[in-house]
A and B are shown apart, each in its own frame.
Chain A
Amino acid sequence: MKTTILGLKGRILTHGPNEERGFALCVGLVLAGGVIWLARSPLVHPDWVLAALAGWGLMWIIGPLTQAGAHGGVLRTEWFRLLPARPREVARAWLPSEFAGVGPLVTLIALAAIVVYAAPAGGLAVAVAVVAVAGQLAVLVLLSKTMVLLIGGVMRTRFGVEVAAFQMSLMLAIAFAGWIPFAAPVVPGPGQRGAPFDLLALAKSGLPAGVVDVLTWSPVGWGMGAARAAVAGDLGGAAVFLALLVVLAVALAALWRVLMVRRLSLPPSRPVAATGGGREPYLASILGRSPVGAVAARELITWRRDPARALELRHGLLTPALMGVIAGLSGWTWALPSVGALIAMFAAMASVNLYALDGTALWQTLLTPRAIRADVRGRQLAWGLLFAVPALVWTVVSLPLTGAWWAGPVAVGAAVAGLGVGAGMIVLLGVTMPAVGMDARHRTELGQRAGDPSGQQMLLWIAVGAACAAPSLLLLLVGGDPSSWLHQLVASALIAAAGVWLPGRIAIVRLTRGGDEFLLALRSGPATAAQKARDAWRKALTQARAKTS
């Protein structure tokens, strides 16, 4: 049965869709190459290899949290429930397949850095490093898979949404603002100069001893710990680390098996949406008197109850807020008023795929007289209430708190223009470039395929970013004063009004004229959309060949 399950997973992986896996493989290989380079480079202290591998290990633990557990895996337990085999046997046969996939492969390559690090110290150190790599890989994969089983139930709850949202927002904030703590000492404020930054010295000097101890004695650092002990000639120390790895791997495998047997023994059930209907939000009840208000009210409720949207709502607000916290803690308090403009950018990115998320529910809008305009404008209104209000409040309140009054006009102008254009672009891109996933009626929980709008998000990032800069650029162009409150307010209000109205108008016309085709695309689902793209590509290739021959 072992080979059958492993073969089944291999077959599913090769059938695809493999776009995401291919991307993950490419990124993973580049990162793994980077870790190996750290281990080889004489300019880099081995502490940084330890830190990189610890970070890598942390991703295995964070992964199940951000993926929101649910049905993360390729294989589903319900496929095996009716087999005439005991859950214990199925679990035993299942275990090897957990090591098949892109994640374990690129991790293995990254961990090879341990062997590269130990190589100059001779054969014994290399032997220790090879065992350490195997042990570390087993610990990371098993730790992650055990976490998936442990938190699978938790992630279906409201609490799970909060945890997943915070984790992802924190990672995004670090990705976008992680450079600020390094830059802040060099440039404490606009026009000021601080201490010079020396990357080379930092790379050579290693990490503080306390940090190294914590990393080495945490399970993500045991592999590197064993290799460092072996390189230093401390074989006893190396043996202790290897023994720790083996004991933890065996213990985790046992725990995984217990949890898996329990999962396999549970009766199958259709998951129920995490957030049940309750009282209508007050705002929704007073909004819903006109058709536009009815749509806005529907949107406010859906933002609250649809777990995919609830997650995006939090990303849109939390990521810029956490970026502000990073900047503030680094001493860049003067940058805090710009968080309003960042909210415009992140909120637009978080909301680009609303039409695809709501899926075939569009039919009701198409069959209701005058509902298309109400749908587009109502979505914009709800978006404004959810994102524009907090963004503007943050911007205004941050001015007296930070004392950065000089930044006020530019920050407010950027936020107003960015929010206006964001409110327009989300509906325009929503109806012209939907990333179709599982239809709304089948999406009961997080982690189900909801379409991947990464490309559209990149586009919005640029468009809304440009809109934030637009009022100041426009004022410079027409001879206005970007530091004047009046000039900024007038310029940004004009841009915002055009930004809300025009793309919204185009979306309304597009839905009125081609709503049926859009509905057909939403009905076709992701598989057919991918199929169509492939067919179009093949057709183009054939035509190109015919032309050249």
Chain B
Amino acid sequence: MNALEFTGLTKRFGDKLAVDGVDLRVPAGSFYGVVGPNGAGKTTTLTMGVGLLRPTSGGSRVFGVDVWERREEAMELLGVLPDSMSVPERLTGRELLRYIGRLRGLDRRVVAERSEELLDVLGLAGDERTLVVDYSTGMRKKILLATALLHGPRVLVLDEPFEAVDPVSGATIRGILNDFVAGGGSVVLSSHVMALVENLCDRVAIVHAGRVVADGTLDEVRADGSLEDRFIDLVGAERVAVRTLSWLGER
């Protein structure tokens, strides 16, 4: 059974084809990495896949449940951390979790206990009076991860979850995600840090110019070399040709 399945996802903004027929199958219990250069279409693909952006064509299913046809059912299964979006900004971290918990109709005591644990583990418990609007980028990623985890989803879709997160918190998040997968959960995350994806994920897709140019298990995709070598091969070697500035260094 696939935890998440994108079929022919395509998105056109005016004349620009941002995502071009992406097919992706995330088996249940896998840790799936989506890598690609800036502007490759990773965020647009994931945003369509979770039902926040209507695709020009194609579809998306969570455990076989169509995210557009049976929206509410799909949402029960998903936990999402989007990139560059607001939350109710004038709440503190704890208030945000309490709000999301109550909005989902979770039991008050359960929300209180989980919030306490999430804030503590993610290192946000010391910022009781700080509003989310005043959070740093890293703190924002962590509180968004907490809101994605709060209701105990079966699939996590995380857009750049490690961006601007400090190394200690990064290790904590890796631990949480590994435990989640070990417990039967499935994770899809996007990143452009190859080493991170290579360390964490068992399956990888490389996205370039709106298309999936390689996907499969980590070993299948990277073949004999490193993921970074394979990525550079597929995305275009000319990008890394070393160029220098003629005037820099002249005195």
Stretch at the interface among B78-86, B160-168, B190-198, B241-249: B78-86
Chain A residues in 8 Å Cβ range of B86:
358-361, 439-441
Chain A residues in 8 Å Cβ range of B173:
none
Q: Is A392 an interface residue (CB 8 A)?
A: no
CB contacts under 8 Å to B, within A348-402, are 358-361, 363-371, 374
Chain A residue with the shortest CB-CB distance to B133: A273
Q: Is A291 an interface residue (CB 8 A)?
A: yes
Asked whether A520 lies within 8 Å of B53 as measured between CB atoms, the reply is yes
A349 to chain B minimum Cβ distance, whole angstroms, is 22
Interface residues of chain A: helix, strand, loop or mixed (majority): helix
Stretch at the interface among A111-119, A233-241, A301-309: A301-309
Asked whether B82 lies within 8 Å of A368 as measured between CB atoms, the reply is no
Chain B residues in 8 Å Cβ range of A441:
85-87, 89, 132-133, 140
Q: Is B154 an interface residue (CB 8 A)?
A: no
Residue pairs across A and B with CB atoms within 8 Å: the count is: 120
Cβ proximity bits A284-304 to B, threshold 8 Å, 1 near / 0 not: 000011110111011001100
Asked whether A367 lies within 8 Å of B80 as measured between CB atoms, the reply is yes
Asked whether A295 lies within 8 Å of B87 as measured between CB atoms, the reply is no
Chain B residues in 8 Å Cβ range of A273:
90, 131, 133-134
Q: Which of B89, B100, B129 contacts A278 (CB 8 A)?
A: B129
B180 to chain A minimum Cβ distance, whole angstroms, is 18
Chain A residues in 8 Å Cβ range of B88:
298, 302, 358, 361, 364
Q: Is B12 an interface residue (CB 8 A)?
A: no
Q: Which of A290, A291, A297, A363 contacts B85 (CB 8 A)?
A: A363
Q: Is B38 an interface residue (CB 8 A)?
A: no
Asked whether A306 lies within 8 Å of B130 as measured between CB atoms, the reply is no
Q: Is A190 an interface residue (CB 8 A)?
A: no
Chain A residues in 8 Å Cβ range of B104:
291, 368-369, 371
Q: Which of A291, A302, A443 contacts B102 (CB 8 A)?
A: A291
Q: Is A517 an interface residue (CB 8 A)?
A: yes
Q: Is B141 an interface residue (CB 8 A)?
A: no
Q: Is B123 an interface residue (CB 8 A)?
A: no
B238 to chain A minimum Cβ distance, whole angstroms, is 31
Chain A residues in 8 Å Cβ range of B183:
none
Cβ proximity bits B105-146 to A, threshold 8 Å, 1 near / 0 not: 100100000000000000000001111111000001000000
Q: Is A280 an interface residue (CB 8 A)?
A: yes
Chain A residues in 8 Å Cβ range of B91:
277, 298, 301-302
Q: Which of B85, B100, B134 contacts A444 (CB 8 A)?
A: B134
Q: Is A516 an interface residue (CB 8 A)?
A: yes
Give Cα distance in the complex from A440 to B96, angstroms: 15
Q: How many chain A residues have a CB neighbour from B under 8 Å?
A: 44
CB contacts under 8 Å to B, within A507-549, are 516-517, 519-520, 523
Give Cα distance in the complex from A441 to B84, angstroms: 9
Asked whether B134 lies within 8 Å of A288 as measured between CB atoms, the reply is no
Chain B residues in 8 Å Cβ range of A368:
75, 100, 103-104
Q: Which of B78, B82, B130 contacts A363 (CB 8 A)?
A: B82
Q: Is B222 an interface residue (CB 8 A)?
A: no
Asked whether B103 lies within 8 Å of A443 as measured between CB atoms, the reply is no
Q: A273-B133, A277-B131, A364-B87 are in contact. Are A294 and B52 (CB under 8 A)?
A: no
Q: Is A272 an interface residue (CB 8 A)?
A: yes
B27 to chain A minimum Cβ distance, whole angstroms, is 23
Chain B residues in 8 Å Cβ range of A272:
134
Asked whether B90 lies within 8 Å of A301 as measured between CB atoms, the reply is yes
Asked whether B128 lies within 8 Å of A277 as measured between CB atoms, the reply is yes
Q: How many chain B residues have a CB neighbour from A under 8 Å?
A: 40
B181 to chain A minimum Cβ distance, whole angstroms, is 21
Q: A288-B99, A444-B134 are in contact. Are A277 and B50 (CB under 8 A)?
A: no
Chain B residues in 8 Å Cβ range of A443:
89, 133
A374 to chain B minimum Cβ distance, whole angstroms, is 6
Give Cα distance in the complex from A520 to B91, angstroms: 24
B65 to chain A minimum Cβ distance, whole angstroms, is 12
Chain B residues in 8 Å Cβ range of A276:
129-131, 134
Q: Is B8 an interface residue (CB 8 A)?
A: no
Asked whether B92 lies within 8 Å of A371 as measured between CB atoms, the reply is no
Chain A residues in 8 Å Cβ range of B129:
276-278
Chain A residue with the shortest CB-CB distance to B151: A368
B211 to chain A minimum Cβ distance, whole angstroms, is 22
Give Cα distance in the complex from A170 to B73, angstroms: 51
Give Cα distance in the complex from A291 to B100, angstroms: 9
Q: Which of B78, B87, B102, B133 contacts A294 (CB 8 A)?
A: B102
Chain A residues in 8 Å Cβ range of B61:
none
Chain A residues in 8 Å Cβ range of B140:
441
Chain A residues in 8 Å Cβ range of B131:
273, 275-277, 305
Give Cα distance in the complex from A272 to B132, angstroms: 11
Chain B residue with the shortest CB-CB distance to A288: B102
Chain B residues in 8 Å Cβ range of A366:
51-52
Q: A272-B134, A288-B99, A297-B99 are in contact. Are A360 and B53 (CB under 8 A)?
A: no
Asked whether B133 lies within 8 Å of A519 as measured between CB atoms, the reply is no
Q: Which of A302, A305, A370, A516 contacts B52 (CB 8 A)?
A: A516
Q: Is B54 an interface residue (CB 8 A)?
A: yes
CB contacts under 8 Å to A, within B182-222, are none
Give Cα distance in the complex from A375 to B52, angstroms: 17
A396 to chain B minimum Cβ distance, whole angstroms, is 32
Give Cα distance in the complex from A301 to B92, angstroms: 10
B216 to chain A minimum Cβ distance, whole angstroms, is 29
Chain A residue with the shortest CB-CB distance to B102: A294
Q: Is B98 an interface residue (CB 8 A)?
A: yes
Asked whether B52 lies within 8 Å of A277 as measured between CB atoms, the reply is no
Chain A residues in 8 Å Cβ range of B103:
291, 294-295, 365, 368, 371, 374
Asked whether A293 lies within 8 Å of B102 as measured between CB atoms, the reply is yes
Give Cα distance in the complex from A306 to B91, angstroms: 10
Q: Is B179 an interface residue (CB 8 A)?
A: no
B193 to chain A minimum Cβ distance, whole angstroms, is 23
Q: Which of A298, A364, A519 contacts B147 (CB 8 A)?
A: A364
Q: Which of A275, A305, A516 contacts B51 (CB 8 A)?
A: A516
Chain B residue with the shortest CB-CB distance to A364: B87
Chain A residue with the shortest CB-CB distance to B101: A294
A284 to chain B minimum Cβ distance, whole angstroms, is 9
Q: Is B69 an interface residue (CB 8 A)?
A: no
Give Cα distance in the complex from A367 to B196, angstroms: 28
Chain A residues in 8 Å Cβ range of B76:
369
Q: Is B95 an interface residue (CB 8 A)?
A: yes
A354 to chain B minimum Cβ distance, whole angstroms, is 12
Contacts A368-B100, A371-B104 aside, 17 further interface pairs with beta carbons under 8 A come to A273-B133, A277-B128, A278-B129, A288-B98, A289-B102, A291-B105, A294-B98, A301-B95, A360-B84, A360-B86, A361-B86, A361-B87, A367-B50, A368-B75, A439-B86, A443-B133, A444-B134
Q: Show 8 residue pairs from A and B whose CB-CB distance is below 8 angstroms, ordered by the A residue.
A: A298-B91, A358-B88, A359-B86, A361-B85, A364-B147, A368-B75, A440-B133, A516-B53
- Which A-B residue pairs are the 4 nearest by beta carbons? A294-B102, A277-B92, A305-B90, A440-B86
Interface residues of B (CB under 8 A from A): 50-54, 71-73, 75-76, 78, 80, 82, 84-92, 95, 98-100, 102-105, 108, 128-134, 140, 147
